């Protein structure tokens, strides 16, 4: 007999290293004489889309098209340190670093534009590929023109940004305090079908709602959520390292199972934008935090379906059948 159940899993996750561990990133932004921009960042792109997000942040800050921005990332020969790609930190920490670098480069452009237009820097706005006065409409220069003048006149056209996300440690006596500068939150709901004769679990659907602050690139956020659900599903019902007298009995993917595309259920990602004032344009992160609630939701759904509580991962068919037999005795 196949029985269906529904389970919920919730979590919070600290962004960055927290607990007073050093957590900072640096970046350079250089404006070329045609107005295009190069970012130098030590942030390592591992498929999550950080290169794209950092370019988006700089383009937004400088008021230029995304296509005008390129990035050199994770090249230890030329890029400044941005720390590792871990702890769901790169959009938040390196995002702030590139934004600050763009702000400094923008200040150089505004100073020069004010000199050329014979006006104050305070009245100038950068946006829509130009620098213009909010007071006198005729005082306006294309962003690319100002960039060219900076190169011709030997004016600054490079910005350096550095962001420190190091937090204070918690109280060593009470463990109370803010271990992280910001947190992400999530709730996932899983629907499963359990075969009571074989113990096999089929995950039918996962609805995943995640607070990531401002979603700089919603499509990439959804991709990270879907990838996280796949990893959480593997953690819940498939992936197991078996040791016997110190010998690993699951040495290859022939024995160590991970989900394939055929194992994946329908995933419905929901982005919740609770803006973080300290994040770049309100962004926080998503990454690792999205993995956590999946296994919890699946195990709760299994309990809802067949009434047995499994307390060790992965939940294999053998464990379910053993618990069903014990329940019937």
- What is the number of alpha carbons within 13 Å of residue 71 lying toward its C-beta? 25
Distance between CA atoms of residues 321 and 329, nearest Å:
13
Residues in contact with 244: Cβ distance below 8 Å, sequence separation at least 6, in sequence order:
none
Annotation says 288 is catalytic: yes
Residues in contact with 171: Cβ distance below 8 Å, sequence separation at least 6, in sequence order:
177
Residues in contact with 44: Cβ distance below 8 Å, sequence separation at least 6, in sequence order:
50, 73, 74, 82, 84, 85
Of 270, 269, 271, the residue nearest 227 (C-alpha): 269
Distance between CA atoms of residues 124 and 141, nearest Å:
10
Catalytic residue chosen out of the listed positions 45, 104, 115, 288: 288
**Are 15 and 21 spatial neighbours (Cβ–Cβ below 8 Å)?**
no
Distance between CA atoms of residues 46 and 42, nearest Å:
12
The token duo for 173 is 């006596």
First to last CA, the chain: 19
Q: Which residues are catalytic?
A: 288
């Amino acid at each position: 007999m196949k029985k269906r159940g529904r389970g919920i899993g919730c979590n919070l996750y600290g962004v960055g290293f927290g607990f007073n561990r050093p957590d900072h990133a640096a970046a350079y932004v250089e404006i070329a004489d045609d107005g295009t921009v190069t970012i130098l960042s030590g942030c390592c792109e591992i498929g999550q889309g950080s290169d794209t997000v950092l370019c988006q942040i700089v383009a937004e800050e400088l008021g230029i098209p995304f296509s005008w921005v390129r990035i050199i990332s994770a090249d230890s020969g030329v890029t400044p340190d941005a720390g590792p790609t871990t702890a769901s930190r790169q959009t938040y920490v390196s995002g702030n670093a590139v934004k600050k670098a763009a702000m400094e480069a923008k200040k150089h452009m505004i100073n020069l534009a004010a000199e050329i237009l014979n006006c104050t820097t305070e009245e100038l706005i950068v946006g829509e590929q130009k620098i213009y006065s909010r007071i006198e409409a005729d005082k306006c220069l294309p962003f690319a023109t100002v960039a060219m003048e900076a190169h011709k006149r030997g004016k600054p056209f490079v910005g350096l940004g550095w962001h420190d996300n190091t937090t204070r440690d918690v109280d060593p006596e009470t463990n109370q305090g803010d271990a992280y500068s910001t947190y992400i939150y999530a709730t996932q709901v899983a629907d499963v079908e359990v075969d009571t004769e074989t113990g096999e679990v089929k995950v039918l659907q996962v609805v995943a709602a995640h607070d990531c602050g401002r979603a700089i690139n919603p499509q990439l956020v959804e991709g990270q959520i879907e990838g996280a659900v796949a990893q959480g599903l593997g953690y819940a019902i498939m992936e197991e390292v078996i040791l016997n007298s110190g010998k690993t009995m699951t040495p290859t993917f022939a024995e160590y199972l991970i989900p394939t595309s055929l194992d994946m259920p329908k995933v419905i990602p929901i982005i919740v934008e609770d803006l973080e004032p300290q994040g770049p344009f309100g962004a926080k992160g998503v990454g690792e935090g999205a993995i956590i609630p999946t296994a919890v939701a699946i195990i709760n759904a299994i309990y809802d379906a067949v009434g047995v509580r499994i307390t060790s991962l992965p939940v294999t068919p053998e464990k379910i059948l053993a618990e069903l037999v014990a329940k019937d005795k």
